[in-house]
Structure 1
Amino acid sequence: MAENDPTAPVVHDAYSDDYIRDILRGVKTIAMVGASDNWNRPSYFAMKYLQQKGYRVYPVNPKVAAAGGEILGEKAYADLDSLPETVDMVDVFRNSEVAGAVTDAAIGHGTRVVWMQLGVRNDEAAARAEAAGIKVVMNRCPKIEFSRLFGELGWHGFNSRVISSKRRIPGKSDAVGGDSDVGDGFVAKGFETLAVHAGSAPDPTTGARATPIYQTTAYVFDDVDHAASLFNLQTFGNIYSRLSNPTVAVLEERIAALEGGHGTTCTASGHSAQMLALFALMGPGDRFVASKRLYGGSITQFGRTFQKFDWHCDFVDVEELEIVRQAALHPKCKAIFAESLANPGGVITDIQALARVADEAGVPLIIDNTMATPYLCRPLEHGADIVVHSTTKFLSGHGNAMGGAVVDGGKFAWDKNDKFPSLSKPEPAYHGLTFFETFGDLAYTIYGHAVGLRDLGPTMAPMNAYLTITGIETLPLRMERHVANAARVAEWLAANPKVAWVSYAGLPGNKYHGLAQRYLPKGAGSVFTFGIKGGYEAGVRAVERCRLLSHLANIGDTRSLILHPASTTHRQLTEEQRTAAGAGDDVIRLSIGLENADDIIADLERALA
């Protein structure tokens, strides 16, 4: 299925996959201008990878050529005019200004494609090349695009945007059977289609349609050179399941696709996802700003446990934007954190307003989207930079699999200031490799795997990934029922004389009803709170009298759940903190499940009697 009309002008801000795929399939010979003989430079990585995929790559490096040297077994040349043949593509590993002269030389050389690497863009030169009938790609890496389109980037959960019901051999430009059209994949636009198919394909060896559980710790290397390339991040593949696992990778890509993100790192729990999300950003003495309306465990993690890392959290009311702004402008501030739909109070965050503050401060906006799920809200579309999930909740959906996820939107420029050295400065553990320079908009997710999971180790178990993949397949259907049931229960509670108040943004007249219509038009979720008359003792009594609703500390289950936060999830907090978080003594939290709504109401009626 073609993405775009092939006669339409190329949009350099958003290339179609068909455009990139056709170039990579049609090219056989490449001149890499700026190829380095230093094994730890991005150009060396890219040249070696492209050679492994069957391309003939000529290195163009005047210094090495003058010495009569070679790079990766190929003679180095001083310029394009010195090449022994007219190449199909000129790959530009020089800065944007110099790319103009290189492009003009490529036009004179007679090449068919000019490809400018990550961070390199020259629109005037591109226009000259296109006027000469040459295809142009800018600010992309052919190594990464080949890996994404032909099945290799799945090892660390990047959103390939490729869906296929055919067997695909990773790293090959054609599908099994040699029919090049089969490998192209289908461009899915529907959320329901992505929930079932994104990230998964039939097993290339057995043809198994369901995602296998790869219950293994490690993976065999082809040879010593292959092992070295993997450990040096020069090529893509699996090393050890603490870093990556094929089952987990399917879940990572599926979540990235559903959120409209660029890549995902899955973790063992929602709490470890929060830790990993901040790990790439924070250093000793650094600060971040967080909403004071958060899940109680998050408040404890941010306010107490993270202090042991010398990370410091400034809790603020995110509705007071000037206070948020002043805190975010602190020179040591590295992020703003909030929940799209707050747990437990159902407060809805104005994501766009926070995104403007984050942009002014030069820091990423991190949104916990656990309660809303991407079916109800996609924070990246409203300006968020990073999304985190406890996949334990609605994504898994059946109360049987722990997990977390960190989704990168791929839009934040990690080198625009000096705040994020982990991504913009050389990494000693990888021989001075710079993640953002080498991997561009993949840098944050690769760092999450290559450093975060490697050193902190909060790895998701393959079995939990498998259960969550299965759960996500029905996410759209489940969320529709969750929301419909929640709306009925909230309306019933609002009319009950033993209920003091109901905090459900789906109810007209609720303070957040307007924000709900903007950010959650399909419904305000199925987790909300209400105040029971009689306070703490009445709350305890009500949860203990339920016979259908389960009294436990979880949300997002198929079963309806009930909790008194003041005596459970938020009991570590002070009374003032509990009240600020929406978990006062009279508060009862409901997570409405998929049962018959009349039965849920009947059980609550008995509990309140």
Structure 2
Amino acid sequence: MAESEAPRRIDHDNYPDSYIKDILSSVRTIAVVGASQKWTRPSYFMAKYLQGKGYRIVPVNPGLADQEILGEKVYASLKDIPFDVDMVDIFRNSEAAGPIAEEAVEIGAKVVWMQLGVRNDAGAEAAEKAGLKVVMNRCPKIEFSRLYGELSWHGFDSNVISSKRRAVGTPGAEEAENPKAAPQKRAGFETRAIHAGAAPDPTTGARSTPIYQTTAYVFDDADHAASLFNLQTFGNIYSRLSNPTTAVLEERIASLEGGRGTTCTASGHSAQMLALFPLMQPGDFLVASTRLYGGSITQFGKTFKKFGWNCTFVDVDDLDAVRKAVDDPKCKALFAESLANPGGVISDIEALSEIAHGAGVPLIIDNTMATPYLCRPIEYGADLVVHSTTKFLSGHGNAMGGAVVDSGKFDWGQNDKFPSLAEPEPAYHGISFWESFGDLAFTTYGHAVGLRDLGPTMAPMNAYLTITGIETLPLRMERHVANAAKVAAYLDKHPAVSWVSYAGLESSRYHALARKYLPGGAGSVFTFGVKGGYAAGQRIVENVELLSHLANIGDTRSLILHPASTTHRQLTEEQRAAAGAGDDVMRISVGLETADDIIADLDQALG
């Protein structure tokens, strides 16, 4: 091909799905440079997987020349292969990738693909000038799985939305005929809230996500079973690890948060445990905000000590104190809430992200109260996001659950802080999750180790109810916020109320942060102080008629609570004050009823 006819340079940080699909649908023979005989190595994983999808794999490794890998002869170099090769897949370091790309040009290959962690821009430019297509820092196994519906089995965001039924692991009919047909533009939030992760059932055409009420799944044969247990392919083994209904929810939450993948759990508390499990070793500690849900303070400060994990609580408004606290080799994470429960306090996520990354640790943000509709912490530098899906995501007070969202952006191998992710895993014959799965490492570990060994699995029925709830999340959050603004303004002027802590009020010290991080509104859960203290707070919750007195938030119904006598009861008086749950504090979760009715009920209870 003449240089003038060479394809336009592509953005190697953001490949269109159509570009990847065109490659995967057009190549048939793939030379794997750096192929290994060891099944625990990423090159073997990839080769075995793609071989099972019908591609011919040609191993290239001078140290293994004339031996066999996966039934194919190993060649010493690309030039020794006596037949045409469509694609050259490089499992060598970035420096070596340049000469290999040049050799791929010489043998007439059509595509140069550099694996996860491998990038050589000079080699890519030379190959593109010669008319070859180039992909860098990607894995064809993962891309095939993502684009053709297999990766979602473990909660990864495929960025694929389609109303067409298709068999998992294969292109749909319209894609096989035209691999560029799939839309490339990122769908809107409302569209993803309804469609992300879901597709019509390929057998029945059922449009609503089925409830897969099963414990286990049939294997195709012994080799298929072995590949699943070895993590060489994606699929379901046992519902403690993964379930098709739950996988739809996981992908949907990942899509809405802008994350790479999600692991769903049985509750918000178990999500926090699973988020920390890959990071912490006995003797390590995390730094957490003093303004957390009372149950989180107890979990971090007391229960986790039984694991040998410790927690240092810091006022995250004091950035110097945060910086000092994380400056320790034993610190493994910084944890805060985007919108704190119960006080409506807003964390400066960008500032906390800068501090965490300066210390080489991830920032974990609990986004339960804000939901991704109001705030997306990953856009401001958060590495992990946790949810109690029991609250606003489910939205109807009828399904327990939790979720851990991985941004896919944290480098787990940058230092020796995170051996569970970066070093060989004994339970899987020494594979390294970070080396083998790259930006999918954290979520893969969450399923393959976290759910397997700790077992806090979300029930399929709860996943189904939460999927249904999320479909109306944008509409519900708009009404929640509108009602909360009216109720907060009413309480702010009530003679029986001494103060209101709602960032949506211009008088709030967090109003500026609310405008930055929650431009759509400051949520619908906030606190106010009632004159008369502890006793007055108890009288109010006993006097309400429309509002429900219970320990939950994020319901369609308006809820009220006196934290000092309930959710924060187990804390000391000093801890309650630091958490914003003093004796006079009332927490309200404003629901979707007529705002005037909510106000009328509060008025008679306060009176």
Partner of 2:235: 237
Q: Hey, what's the Cα distance between the residues in 1 that align with 2:77 and 2:180?
A: 39
Q: Hey, what's the Cα distance between the residues in 2 that align with 1:313 and 1:16?
A: 43
Q: Hey, what's the Cα distance between the residues in 1 that align with 2:370 and 2:517?
A: 10
1:177-208 CA distances to partner (integer Å, 9 max, x unpaired)?
Answer: 96555983674421000000000000011100
Partner of 2:393: 395
Asked whether the equivalents of residues 230 and 428 of structure 2 are also in contact (C-alpha less than 8 Å), the reply is: yes
SS at match of 2:203: coil
C-alpha deviation, 1:92, in angstroms = 0.3
Q: Hey, what's the Cα distance between the residues in 2 that align with 1:555 and 1:525?
A: 11
Partner of 1:434: 432
TM-score scaled to structure 2, two decimals?
0.98
Asked whether the equivalents of residues 166 and 182 of structure 1 are also in contact (C-alpha less than 8 Å), the reply is: no
Q: State whether structure 2 residue 78 is matched by structure 1 residue 80.
A: yes
Between 1:309-318 and 1:123-132, the stretch displaced more is 123-132
Which runs of structure 2 are paired with 1:399-418 in the superposition (5 Å)? 399-418=397-416
SS at match of 2:270: helix
Asked whether the equivalents of residues 169 and 175 of structure 1 are also in contact (C-alpha less than 8 Å), the reply is: no
C-alpha deviation, 1:7, in angstroms = 6.7
Partner of 2:61: 61
Q: Hey, what's the Cα distance between the residues in 2 that align with 1:314 and 1:178?
A: 55
Asked whether the equivalents of residues 148 and 170 of structure 2 are also in contact (C-alpha less than 8 Å), the reply is: yes
Tell me the amino acid that sits aligned with residue 98 of structure 1.
Answer: A
SS at match of 1:184: coil
TM-score scaled to structure 1, two decimals?
0.98
Tell me the amino acid that sits aligned with residue 284 of structure 1.
Answer: P
Change (3 A) 1:360 1:137: same
Asked whether the equivalents of residues 18 and 179 of structure 2 are also in contact (C-alpha less than 8 Å), the reply is: no
Asked whether the equivalents of residues 163 and 187 of structure 1 are also in contact (C-alpha less than 8 Å), the reply is: no
Tell me the amino acid that sits aligned with residue 173 of structure 1.
Answer: P
Partner of 1:22: 22
Tell me the amino acid that sits aligned with residue 45 of structure 2.
Answer: F
Q: Hey, what's the Cα distance between the residues in 1 that align with 2:357 and 2:176?
A: 48
Partner of 2:455: 457
Q: State whether structure 2 residue 321 is matched by structure 1 residue 323.
A: yes
RMSD after superposition:
1.2
SS at match of 2:405: strand
C-alpha deviation, 1:142, in angstroms = 0.2
Q: Hey, what's the Cα distance between the residues in 2 that align with 1:160 and 1:353?
A: 30
SS at match of 2:57: strand
For structure 1, which runs of at least 5 residues remain unmatched after alignment?
A: 1-5
Q: Hey, what's the Cα distance between the residues in 2 that align with 1:420 and 1:574?
A: 34
Q: Hey, what's the Cα distance between the residues in 1 that align with 2:180 and 2:542?
A: 57
Asked whether the equivalents of residues 58 and 73 of structure 2 are also in contact (C-alpha less than 8 Å), the reply is: yes
Partner of 2:219: 221
Between 1:186-195 and 1:137-146, the stretch displaced more is 186-195
Partner of 1:160: 158
Asked whether the equivalents of residues 200 and 207 of structure 2 are also in contact (C-alpha less than 8 Å), the reply is: yes
Which runs of structure 2 are paired with 1:43-62 in the superposition (5 Å)? 43-62=43-62
Asked whether the equivalents of residues 364 and 384 of structure 2 are also in contact (C-alpha less than 8 Å), the reply is: yes
Which runs of structure 2 are paired with 1:132-531 in the superposition (5 Å)? 132-175=130-173, 179-180=177-178, 184=182, 187-531=185-529
Change (3 A) 1:183 1:45: farther
Q: Hey, what's the Cα distance between the residues in 1 that align with 2:179 and 2:146?
A: 17
C-alpha deviation, 1:250, in angstroms = 0.0
Asked whether the equivalents of residues 217 and 240 of structure 1 are also in contact (C-alpha less than 8 Å), the reply is: yes
Partner of 1:577: 575
Q: Hey, what's the Cα distance between the residues in 2 that align with 1:572 and 1:110?
A: 70
Tell me the amino acid that sits aligned with residue 34 of structure 2.
Answer: G
For structure 2, which runs of at least 5 residues remain unmatched after alignment?
A: 1-5
1:486-527 CA distances to partner (integer Å, 9 max, x unpaired)?
Answer: 000000000101100000000012100000000000000000
Q: State whether structure 2 residue 7 is matched by structure 1 residue 11.
A: no
Tell me the amino acid that sits aligned with residue 103 of structure 1.
Answer: A
C-alpha deviation, 1:326, in angstroms = 1.1
C-alpha deviation, 1:174, in angstroms = 3.0
Asked whether the equivalents of residues 175 and 181 of structure 2 are also in contact (C-alpha less than 8 Å), the reply is: no
- For residue 544 of structure 2, the aligned residue among 536, 543, 546 is 546
How many percent of aligned residue pairs carry the same amino acid?
74
Asked whether the equivalents of residues 163 and 186 of structure 1 are also in contact (C-alpha less than 8 Å), the reply is: no
Report how many residues are paired: 602
C-alpha deviation, 1:21, in angstroms = 1.1
Q: Hey, what's the Cα distance between the residues in 1 that align with 2:185 and 2:193?
A: 14
Q: Hey, what's the Cα distance between the residues in 1 that align with 2:349 and 2:86?
A: 46
Between 1:350-359 and 1:321-330, the stretch displaced more is 321-330
